[in-house]
Structure 1
Amino acid sequence: MSAHTIFLEELERDALTELVNIGVSRAASSLRKMVGEQVLLSVPAVEVMTREGAAVLIRERESGELVAVRQDFQGVFSGRALLIFPETNSMALVHAVTGGALSVDEAAEMENEALAETGNVVLNSCLATMANMLQQPLTMSLPEVLRGDGASLFTLSDENADGGVVLFLYINFAINDRDIRGYIAMLMDLPSLQALKTLINDFIERVAGDVG
């Protein structure tokens, strides 16, 4: 079975985009409490692609180094979630999260901690909301900060060498009027994507039943 045979249909992608946007709006609310500033988060587009395709896409959009917060998730569908920023944006994020009260040296020392905390809030809110609305529990690992290019960030272990897929989510991210673009990537193998596709269809049927 190739990834292309189970890519999401338009209705499934719309439903997933809606689920993710509910998740990131909850993340924005949590970040707002954490930083005491206005936080705006939205996911305007969701794409499903191969890991190689995701690496090429992010390389075309971001020429510099990338910073990512990684958390693995396990449940009916399992994989790895990444919150990715261009490295040039990561310090802007740290200053925004810490209210701009730190010196350059202090901000540099706190960078990983602030990034991990932000990633934990965003990824946990996003995935926990999806899991809740799909009526399936997920467990999440602790956040880990990675640096590198798209190819290294999208590499999984050898036992997942079937290629797998990436759910690639663009994020509009603004804290206190600072615009910080980023991405959420969910790396999954094909059985996990098939399981997610099934759960999304169950969700669509429940929503249609409630409306009817």
Structure 2
Amino acid sequence: MMAPQISELERDIIKEILNIGLARAADSFAAIAKDKVLLKVPDIKLIELKDLLKLVEDYCDTHSIIQSDIKGDFNGATLMLFSDEHVVRLSEVCLSMLNVQKGELSVMQESLLLEISNIITGALVTQLANILKADIYGSPPKLPKSNVADSLKDILVHHPLFKPLVFTVITRFTHNSKSVELPLLLFFDSETLLKMLDIIRTFDLGKNNLKETE
């Protein structure tokens, strides 16, 4: 299977579709964070599987990683990466916890991270389904107890020529004028990218299809 060819215009369209979904997710997240939330897709790249796994492994020791799988017509996953500082900040803002200690997550903290991931992945999947007329859904998020790279291999093992399309998203929320950034990795396999491109290529780009679906 050859690597998908993607033009700059198609890349921009995919970014715009994701940004529409992220705008909805930001509104939902803001209700929990009790403040303004900004979500943007700053980067899209095709990378080799080994590079993706290395990227994830680099975060493993320093971050709590929440994984949500995307299933149905598309195959992919989201990973939200929470550092100890992020967990402390979110616990203070969203759970009104005081003197939060870094380290092992409490049940409430783990539930909060799962809920944030659920909101963001759910909003993204809903918008992707609406705009691309696809039958997709997000599986319940989980905090992998084993190595996340191993967990990801479960998704990828069916795709020996898997060349993931990786979107890096920076979630930024402000509280009392202080800004907190949360990295989010969103990726799809090559087959999904080809399906997306087939759908996008049927769009009449003379009309603003994306806005009509909002």
Common fold, TM-score beyond 0.5? yes
2:192 is equivalent to residue 192 of structure 1: yes
Cα deviation, residue 124, structure 1: 0.9
Aligned positions of 1:52-91 closer than 5 A: 52-57=50-55, 62=59, 64-91=61-88
Residue in structure 2 matched with residue 181 of structure 1 by the alignment: 182
Deviation by residue 1:32-52 (Cα, 9 ceiling, x = unmatched):
223322222222222222222
Cα deviation, residue 18, structure 1: 0.8
Report the count of equivalent residues: 204
For 1:71 and 1:30, the matched residues in 2 are separated by 17
Decide which structure has greater helix share: 1
Counterpart contact for 1:64–1:87, Cα < 8 Å: no
Residue in structure 1 matched with residue 97 of structure 2 by the alignment: 101
Aligned positions of 1:7-156 closer than 5 A: 7-57=5-55, 62=59, 64-98=61-95, 100-104=96-100, 108-146=106-144, 151-152=149-150, 154-156=152-154
Q: 1:85 to 1:145 in 2, by over 3 A?
A: same
Cα deviation, residue 12, structure 1: 1.2
Cα deviation, residue 117, structure 1: 0.2
Cα deviation, residue 186, structure 1: 1.9
- What RMSD in Å do the two structures reach over aligned CA positions? 2.9
2:4 is equivalent to residue 6 of structure 1: yes
TM-score (norm 1): 0.79
Q: What residue identity is the alignment partner of 1:198? A: D
For 1:209 and 1:23, the matched residues in 2 are separated by 19
For 1:69 and 1:12, the matched residues in 2 are separated by 29
Deviation by residue 1:7-57 (Cα, 9 ceiling, x = unmatched):
432111111111111111111101122332222222222222222222334
Deviation by residue 1:88-116 (Cα, 9 ceiling, x = unmatched):
43333333332x434526x7342210000
Of all paired residues, the percent bearing the same amino acid is 21
5+ residue gaps, structure 2, are 210-214
Counterpart contact for 2:65–2:79, Cα < 8 Å: yes
TM-score (norm 2): 0.79
For 2:99 and 2:205, the matched residues in 1 are separated by 50
